[in-house]
Chain A
Amino acid sequence: MEISGWGRYPKIDAKVILPATAVACASALKDPGLLIPRGLGRSYGDSSLATQVLETTEMQYLQAFDSETGVLACDAGVSLYEILNVFVSQGWFLPVTSGTRFVTIGGAIASDIHGKNHHVDGTFCEHVLSFDIALGNGEIVTASPTQNPDLFHSTCGGMGLTGVIIAARVRLKPITSSEILETTIKAPNLDAVLDGFEKYIGSTYSVAWIDCLAKGADLGRSLLMIGEHATDGGLKVASKKPITIPMDAPTQLLNPLSIKAFNTLYYGKVLQAEQSRRTSFETYFYPLDQMLHWNRLYGKPGFLQYQFVIPTATGREGMRRILEEITESGQGSFLAVLKAFGKQNENYLSFPVEGYTLALDFKVTPNIFKLLDRLDELVLQYGGRLYLAKDARMSEQTFKASYPRWQEFEEVRRKYHAIGKFASLQSIRLGLA
């Protein structure tokens, strides 16, 4: 059947294997042929694409929960959505969450996802105590920072290329309220928003929505959104039905004019320089989940997500230069999100480094690839890298220049029987074995 990532570019015809248990999964691995594990398919590009794909979504049991420590043991196919559904009302939250809840635990580990609290709490895998993984030879082993640590640190952020994660133990975060106290600050330009991130470095959650069509003195104008867990207000999970985009929008729906109009209205709707409100966790963390299949708004050709990070030392200058390049090109990004990262962790291919990260959407058009190649050059020049979970077209040279631990990663893959078993369209493109 035809499958793709969330950007719906590229697409591939794949055989899908759907094991319901760990035993079935290990036995499927004994069959010949390359394959890649896949969860809910929310990576944007070709990270979970191959001619054979092993979907983990049927392995979705919760196994055990310790209400003293908050440690949850569960199958790798359990989604963040399901965990919130079960545990928010019991007073627990995810330690780190991506912008969508429709991601499996296996996917969260394989992409080593980050959230709005990276500068305080790090990545998802920093809250994973251990996991069980099925290797290329069908053997199931346990990995943790102390048990098979090389396997642990290469699987965290390893894009499914080391094996199939079967189950994991994750420490949840205790909460006394499901609400978030949100403060929105209008930042008139890039320096203002970066100053804002520094000022609010002690806040738990921070993210900025940035207007990347604004030019000149307005370059980088943003809405900075700071958040803290409320301590009162109850523990509620909303049952509001999301709206569904039922079919592909015409490709002209999102164009530079409509995007510019949207951005102006969105920035303009915040009337005061600073305003606070109380909001549900769903609204603060997952605004896009309210619109199922929003990726269809980009039309049939799909879109590309481009997310990079520039280290702090060159952060301001790098960000300014890249924003100028984008505004000059006239190829607008509908949703642009800016975030400040904290320290890098020990996982070999984990994306975040201390600095600033920007995530952009671009419609797939013939001109876009040249622009992104140019942006790659700038990212490399400023010492940064791209996020593999969003990437659909980065070159091998760019990848290897910006992820120096790729060779150690390959050695671990060799050691644990992953070579010749696990590969994706992305891994082949990036020159991995």
Chain B
Amino acid sequence: MKRIVIVGATSGIAKECARIWVKESAVDLTLVVRDVARAQPLIADLQVRSPHSKIEAISVDFNDATAIHNLVEVVYHSRTIDNVLIAHGNLPDQSDCEQDLNLCKDTLEINGVSPCLFAEAFASVMQNQGKGNIAIIGSVAGDRGRKSNYIYGAAKGLVARYAQGMQHRFANTRLKITLIKPGPTATPMTEKMRAKGMKMAPADQVAKEIVDGIAKGKSVIYTPKKWQIIMLIIQHLPSFVFNKLNI
């Protein structure tokens, strides 16, 4: 059975990816979460979809490097992991973060530092497997800092640079690192924006593109695909133009 580990499994995109993977075939799935009790409805849901899959949840402090290191050792347990998906995050209000430096710090850590720690820890145990994929969810927000979202965006920029470095490190090996950059997606994280009427991509559609992209061994996945060209343009706008935009 394929072995998959999902970090931040109760997040909207991760949940849909899990559903696709268990539908493809019975899997050995480990969900790394903050609170095991909160993961129970997801486990029940996945088990109904795939009665032959082996599914369990395990919790850890997402900001504690020692705890993450130890957890990854326990999860790995000398058994090959085929896929890791690092999918946790938190999108607070930018203006709240500007006013509260502790919130600012927490946002940078959970969205930037924490995913990198998990990636580093998993890469350590998986590097001699001879196969495997570590996929990290970044964001289009990481492509260029902008006033409405640069704290979250900067954290995702860190993730992008980290993934890039790891891709270089593992370039000539069978361990693949995939950086996922979703555009705005309809998940609990974006609930406030959607209640105001903002249209977003459905999470199951984004998840399908992620699962397909990982299977193909892609390095960077923009999902939906149109965001690749949109961000290409945004990244290249000269500042005298960009500074006029209210985004």
Distance of A65 Cα from B46 Cα, bound (Å): 11
With a cutoff of 8 Å between Cβ atoms, the chain A residues found around residue B41 in the complex are: 21, 61, 63
Contacts of A1 in B (CB 8 A): 195-197
B45 contacts A61, CB within 8 Å?
Answer: yes
* Residue from A20, A58, A65 in contact with B48 in the complex, judged by beta carbons closer than 8 Å: A65
Q: Provide the residues of chain B in CB contact with A21, threshold 8 Å.
A: 41
Report yes or no: A63 in contact with B45, Cβ–Cβ below 8 A: yes
CB-contacts of A191-222 with B (<8 A): none
Are the C-beta atoms of B48 and A15 separated by less than 8 Å? no
| Contact A15-B195, Cβ < 8 Å, known A63-B45, A63-B48, A64-B48 | yes
* A18-B194, A61-B41 known; A86+B48 contact, CB < 8 A: yes
Given A20-B188, A61-B41, the answer on whether A86 and B195 have CB atoms closer than 8 Å is no
User: B45–A62 contact, CB under 8 A?
Assistant: yes
Considering the chains assembled together, what is the distance between the CA atoms of A15 and B188 in angstroms?
A: 17
Residues of chain B contacted by A20 (CB below 8 angstroms): 188, 191
Q: For this complex, into which size category does the number of interface residues on chain B fall?
A: 10 to 19
Q: Is A16 an interface residue (CB 8 A)?
A: yes
Number of A-B contacts (CB under 8 A): 35
Q: Which of A17, A18, A21, A72 has the most CB of B within 10 A?
A: A18
The answer, among B23, B49, B191, for a CB contact under 8 Å with A18, is: B191
- Give the distance in Å from the alpha carbon of A16 to the alpha carbon of B51 in the complex: 35
User: B23, B41, B51 — which one has the most chain A CB atoms within 10 A of its CB?
Assistant: B41
Chain A residues with CB under 8 Å of B197's CB are 1-2
B39 → A minimal CB distance (Å): 11
State the Cβ distance, B35 to closest chain A Cβ, in Å: 13
Complex-state Cα separation, A15 to B41, whole angstroms? 28
Chain A's nearest CB lies how many Å from the CB of B132? 28
Cβ of B42 under 8 Å from chain A: yes
B200 touches A (CB below 8 Å): no
**Chain A residue nearest in CB terms to B195:** A16
| Residues from chain B with Cβ under 8 Å of A17 in the complex | 195
- Digitize B157-189: 1 where CB-to-A-CB distance is under 8 Å, 0 elsewhere: 000000000000000000000000000000010
In chain B between 190 and 230, which residues have their CB closer than 8 angstroms to a CB of chain A? 191, 194-197
**How far is the CB of B121 from the nearest CB of chain A, in Å?**
29
Cβ distance B184 to chain A, nearest Cβ, rounded Å: 15
Decide yes or no whether B44 CB sits under 8 A from chain A. yes
Q: How far is the CA of A16 from the CA of B197 in the complex (A)?
A: 9
State the CA gap A15–B51 with chains docked (Å). 39
CB-based contact A58/B188 at 8 Å:
yes
- In the complex, residue of chain A having the shortest beta-carbon distance to the beta carbon of B196: A1
| Residues from chain B with Cβ under 8 Å of A2 in the complex | 197
**A18 neighbours in B (Cβ, 8 Å):** 191, 194-195
Cβ-defined contact, A62 with B191, below 8 A: no
* Chain A CB within 10 A, most for which of B42, B49, B188, B194: B49
A61–B46 Cα gap in the complex (Å)?
Answer: 9
Q: Which residues of A contact B23 (CB under 8 A)?
A: 86
Are A62 and B195 in touch, CB under 8 angstroms?
Answer: no
Contact with B along A16-55 (1 / 0, CB 8 A): 1110110000000000000000000000000000000000
Of listed B23, B48, B196, residue having the most chain A CB within 10 A: B48
- Smallest CB separation, A8 vs chain B (Å): 16
- Chain B min CB distance to A56 (Å): 14
Mask, A357-400, CB within 8 Å of B = 1, is 00000000000000000000000000000000000000000000
Residue-wise interface mask of B (1-40) relative to A, using a CB-CB cutoff of 8 A (1 in contact, 0 not): 0000000000000000000000100000000000000000
Instruction: Give Cα A1–Cα B197 distance, bound, in whole angstroms.
Output: 5
A341 CB to nearest B CB, Å: 33
Is the Cβ of A86 less than 8 Å from the Cβ of B194? Answer: no
Q: Chain A: which residue is nearest B23 at the CB level?
A: A86
Chain A 119-172 residues near chain B, CB threshold 8 A: none
Cα–Cα distance between A67 and B49 once the two chains are bound (Å): 12
Within 8 Å by CB of A62, from B49, B188, B194, B196, lies B49
A63 in contact with B188 given A1-B197, A16-B195, A86-B49 (CB within 8 Å): no
Q: B42 contacts A61, CB within 8 Å?
A: yes
Contact A64 B49, CB 8 Å, known A2-B197, A20-B188: no
Please give, as numbers and ranges, the residues of chain B lying within 8 Å of A61 by CB-CB distance.
Answer: 41-42, 44-45
CB distance from B165 to the nearest CB of A (A): 35
What residues of A have a CB within 8 angstroms of the CB of B48 in the complex? 62-65, 72, 86
Q: How far is the CB of B150 from chain A (nearest CB, A)?
A: 26
B241 to chain A, nearest CB (A): 29
Bound complex: CA A406 to CA B49 (Å): 40
Contacts of A16 in B (CB 8 A): 195
Interface string of A77-101 (1 = CB under 8 A from B): 0000000001000000000000000
- Return 14 A-B CB contacts under 8 Å, by A number: A1-B195, A15-B195, A16-B195, A17-B195, A18-B195, A20-B188, A21-B41, A61-B42, A61-B44, A63-B45, A64-B44, A67-B51, A86-B23, A86-B48
A residues near B, CB below 8 A?
1-2, 15-18, 20-21, 58, 61-65, 67, 72, 86
- Given contact pairs A1-B196, A18-B191, A58-B188, a sample of 18 additional A-B residue pairs in the complex whose CB atoms are under 8 Å apart: A1-B195, A1-B197, A2-B197, A17-B195, A18-B195, A21-B41, A58-B191, A61-B41, A61-B42, A62-B44, A62-B45, A62-B48, A62-B49, A63-B41, A63-B45, A64-B44, A72-B48, A86-B23
Shortest Cβ-Cβ A-B pairs, 4 listed:
A1-B197, A62-B48, A61-B45, A61-B41
